[in-house]
């Protein structure tokens, strides 16, 4: 059975040649085995454009392989998914052009989540809004930001920028950071959206510090959570059975605040001290069809799945 560790080892083994040869991002090997509702949305994806046209930031902590809009379109055709949310990955810093490139390829079926900084002007945000961006992302996890004071300051600054335009603030972080900013999220005039099960690790159990805070925030309606990238939380791939209680706890807390995503093309952003930043890392070889087939296990009720795949994304991203 494939586990997160075996995927990682396989990826590193493949990486010996990945700096000179490119492998395509994964495409579903398993057909979807349930009726996907019309207008379903994959709420967490990335585009990695041609590096000559979309150069990576010098401050990045890893280098991914390319992943094109055409490859993403093939993925979603196989999954019977119409809509998509493209999130600017950390490797681009505050350059959202690759994300916009991907959004334009999908037209009105795409929305974006941008990364900004203090130099981003209100006029630029206005243009992003016209282009279909609906939120900004704070990627605390990839950069290894664990200081609660830093997390609180960055969240407060993001909320201040977003409150006038009604965008949400998306965070890739850990349960301990969620606990540290919980009071700020409860007071926030804009929604918080937590990536990838809030960074919970299934092997630590439902009682791990911070997960109950995430559940409470979702229950309150002040936060959304993406039940996305299950392989990042799991040690029991490829069906991620250890994630089932986490998904079910979040859905039971408030099915109106849960969205789903693949995390395609499955970049490996985890720490690898033995690698150079410029070493091109292969993607995790995830079967997105098998991944998507876990959703009926997590949410057996078709009406609940429609909320997760259609209604909640339409509300959050303005489809």
The predicted pLDDT at position 22 comes to 58
Q: Are 185 and 224 in contact (CB under 8 A)?
A: no
Using CA atoms, how far apart are residues 136 and 85, in angstroms rounded to an integer?
12
The predicted pLDDT at position 187 comes to 97
Tally of CB atoms within 10 A around 153: 12
The predicted pLDDT at position 23 comes to 65
Using CA atoms, how far apart are residues 75 and 72, in angstroms rounded to an integer?
5
**In the chain, how many domains are there?**
1
- The DSSP result for 234-299, as a single string, is -SSTTTTGGGHHHHHHHHHH-GGGEEEE--BT----S--TTS-TTSEEPPP---HHHHHTTHHHH-
Q: At 139, which CATH number? A: 3.20.20.140
Long-range own/partner contacts, residues 268-275 (CB < 8 A, 24 or more apart)? 268/8, 268/11, 268/62, 268/64, 269/61, 269/62, 269/89, 269/90, 269/142, 270/8, 271/144, 272/12, 272/62, 275/15, 275/62
Q: Per residue of the chain (319 residues), give pLDDT as tens.
A: 333 334 444 443 333 333 334 568 889 999 999 999 999 999 999 999 999 999 999 999 999 999 999 999 999 999 999 999 999 999 999 999 999 999 999 999 999 999 999 999 999 999 999 999 999 999 887 777 788 889 899 999 999 999 999 999 999 999 999 999 999 999 999 999 999 999 999 999 999 999 999 999 999 999 999 999 999 999 999 999 999 999 999 999 999 999 999 999 999 988 899 999 999 999 999 999 999 999 999 999 999 999 999 999 999 999 9
> Given strand 192-194, what is the order of strands in its sheet?
41-45, 83-87, 110-114, 133-139, 168-172, 192-194, 223-228, 258-261
Q: Are 162 and 191 in contact (CB under 8 A)?
A: no
Three-state secondary structure call for residue 129: helix
Using CA atoms, how far apart are residues 9 and 111, in angstroms rounded to an integer?
34
Taking the CA atoms of 253, 247, 151 and 85 in sequence, report the sign of the dihedral they define: negative
Indicate the pTM of the whole model. 0.91
Which residue range is the domain that position 299 belongs to? 4-317
């Amino acid at each position: 059975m494939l586990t997160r560790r075996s995927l990682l080892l396989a990826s590193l083994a493949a990486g010996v040649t990945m700096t000179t040869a490119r492998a395509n991002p994964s495409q579903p090997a398993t057909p979807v085995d349930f009726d996907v509702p019309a207008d379903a949305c994959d709420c967490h994806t990335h585009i990695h454009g041609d590096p000559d046209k979309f150069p990576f930031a010098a401050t990045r902590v890893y280098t991914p392989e390319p992943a094109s809009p055409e490859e993403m379109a093939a993925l979603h055709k196989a999954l019977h998914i119409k809509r998509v949310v493209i999130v600017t990955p950390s490797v681009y810093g505050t350059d959202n052009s690759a994300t916009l490139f991907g959004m334009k390829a999908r037209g009105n079926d795409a929305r974006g989540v941008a990364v900004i900084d203090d130099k981003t002007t209100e006029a630029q945000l206005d243009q992003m809004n016209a282009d279909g961006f609906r939120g900004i992302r704070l990627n605390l996890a990839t950069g290894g930001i664990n200081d609660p004071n830093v997390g609180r300051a960055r969240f407060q600054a993001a909320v201040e920028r977003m409150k006038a335009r009604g965008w949400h603030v998306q965070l890739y972080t850990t349960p301990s950071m969620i606990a540290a900013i919980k009071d700020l999220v409860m007071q926030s005039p804009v929604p918080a959206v937590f990536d990838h099960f809030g960074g919970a690790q299934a092997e630590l159990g439902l009682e791990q510090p911070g997960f109950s805070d995430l559940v409470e925030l979702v229950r309150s309606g002040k936060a959304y959570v993406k039940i996305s990238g299950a392989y990042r939380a799991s040690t029991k791939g490829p069906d991620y059975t250890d994630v089932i209680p986490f998904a079910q706890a979040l859905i039971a807390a408030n099915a109106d605040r849960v969205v789903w995503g693949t995390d395609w093309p499955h970049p490996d952003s985890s720490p690898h001290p033995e690698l150079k930043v410029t070493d091109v890392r292969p993607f995790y070889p995830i079967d997105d069809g098998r991944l998507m087939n876990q959703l009926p296990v997590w949410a057996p009720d078709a009406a609940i799945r429609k909320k997760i795949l259609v209604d909640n994304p339409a509300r959050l991203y303005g489809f």
